[in-house]
Amino acid sequence: MTQVRTLGRLALVTAGVLGIATACGSTSTTPPTSGSGSSSGKIGGSVTVWAEWTAQEQADFLAALAPFTAATGITVNYQGKGNNMDTALTAAVSGGSPPDVALVPDPGTLDSLAKANSIKDLTSTLSGLTSNFGAAWNTLASYNGKQYGVWFKGANKNTIWYNPALFTAAGISSPPTTWEQLLTDAAQLKAAGTTPFSLCTDVGWPVADMWQNVYLKTAGAADYNKLATHALKWTDPTVTTAFTTLGQLFSQPSYLLGGLTGSLSNAYPACVDKVFPKPPAQPKAAMVFEGDFMVSEITGNSANYTPGTTGAGGAACTANPAQKPCYDFFPFPAPAADSANNSAIQGAGDVAMQLNLTPQSTALIKYLAGPEGGTIWAHLGGFASPNNQVKQTAYPDAVTQADAQALVNASSFVFSLDDLQGSWEPHMWADLLQFLQNPSSSNVTTIESTMDSQATTALGH
């Protein structure tokens, strides 16, 4: 799936960017050194760039590139392709007219283009700049041992977002740290008169994200990566364990806003609005699962929302969004018996690739590998960088700092499994929605068999 992206929290015209970059510790208008990830000297000319970002995200990305243009004199000609990014890029490559640089939301596209020699080997171009990223991120940007990409934007999907005021009202003093405690807290919320979860379903990708988190936390990263390539069958016992574990939640329809029927029609981002509504509406559920990109939906609903467990001015959080509402997250918890998997994180991101070798595109790739652009976008919000040189102080609050830190420091980072499945991905989503409708063990057996057959057909093994 082309991952749903967020809108940045602040509109910013390019003219105001350099002051923000300086305030965040980023580079000034003087040409940065190559060691920081930016090319030095006035190169001039232009570079064409494609990514999926439109609207506010497009404005924020261009703001992040302002120091690059100022330092190099290179004009960036950007096109935001939205959810059509992969299709548009494939057509452009086939037609012989690709952009100079493209950022795509999955490593599968990078692998395909590298295999076809349609993108440039960046191993020598990046050199020491790869140290700005953890081993997991560099591996995801490599093909056959060579570096072909730079992960500019990341997404942490190890996040369950909750309304602190509703937790407090139910007598829950701290968020759960195990799967068992999550279910206990859900029961306590329900007893207090609050529906525990607003479940995002959409066309199935949020349910896939949730199932994948459960699989990662119960089976671990090694088996997760095997399942992603179909080196493990979908009928494997580890798959059954994940279905059984998630079924402990899905088999309690009263824990889901609207029950099973209501959940099946709960599209993103409307599911977020049920927990963090726009005034004068009141919250209808206490928790919602999805990646960190949903923060922009929360803050976009009202400027009243304060990150953390204390409202504006140090006041207690209120459920009423017209007063002093708060938002926070806790990491997706593993069952107690699988606590060793708690540090593993499922996520997504956008990787930059060079399709045309020019001085301008090489300079941009180096810039994207450095911290300058990420620092600016981090300050604007709605963004997390996998780059370990983007300082935590660049993020606007403690919640986004914790989120980004988890992304950078993940001991095991795995990419969204559904995004790696190729043509059968939509069928996978549909299969998981079938599970939500009927989480019984007999239905799980049927679904697993179906999924394994679909994977075999699509992946060829």
Domains observed in the chain: 14-156+345-417 (3.40.190.10), 161-336 (3.40.190.10)
**325 and 280 Cβ atoms separated by less than 8 Å:** no
Q: Is the pLDDT of residue 7 over 50?
A: no
Q: What is the mean pLDDT of residues 364-388?
A: 95
Q: What is the mean pLDDT of residues 8-26?
A: 35
**55 and 406 Cβ atoms separated by less than 8 Å:** no
Q: Which residues contact 412 (CB under 8 A, 6 or more apart)?
A: 136, 220, 221, 343, 344, 345
Q: Is the pLDDT of residue 110 over 60?
A: yes
Three-class secondary structure of residue 247 per DSSP: helix
- Whose CA is closest to 201, among 250, 164, 251, 252? 250
pLDDT, mean over the chain: 90
Q: Is the pLDDT of residue 40 over 80?
A: no
Three-class secondary structure of residue 113 per DSSP: helix
Q: Which tens digits make up the pLDDT trace of 216-268? A: 999 999 999 999 999 999 999 999 999 999 999 999 999 999 999 999 999 99
Where does the pLDDT of residue 34 fall: very low under 50, low under 70, confident under 90, or very high at 90 and above?
A: very low
Three-class secondary structure of residue 8 per DSSP: coil
**9 and 296 Cβ atoms separated by less than 8 Å:** yes
Q: Is the pLDDT of residue 1 over 70?
A: no
Span between the terminal Cα atoms of the chain, in Å:
21
Sign of the torsion angle spanned by Cα atoms 198, 204, 207, 213: negative
Hey, what are 224's tokens? 């997760």
Q: Which tens digits make up the pLDDT trace of 410-443? A: 878 899 999 889 889 999 999 999 999 999 999 9
DSSP state of 35: G
**372 and 32 Cβ atoms separated by less than 8 Å:** yes
Q: Is the pLDDT of residue 207 over 50?
A: yes
Sign of the torsion angle spanned by Cα atoms 23, 24, 25, 29: negative
Hey, what are 8's tokens? 């940045």
Instruction: Return the residue matching tokens 């990409």.
Output: 149
Q: Which tens digits make up the pLDDT trace of 137-189? A: 999 999 999 999 999 999 999 999 999 999 999 999 999 999 999 999 999 99
Where does the pLDDT of residue 10 fall: very low under 50, low under 70, confident under 90, or very high at 90 and above?
A: very low
The Cα-based distances of 351 to 80, 295, 383 in angstroms read 15, 21, 14
Hey, what are 72's tokens? 């190099």
Q: What is the mean pLDDT of residues 331-352?
A: 95
pLDDT, position 160: 98
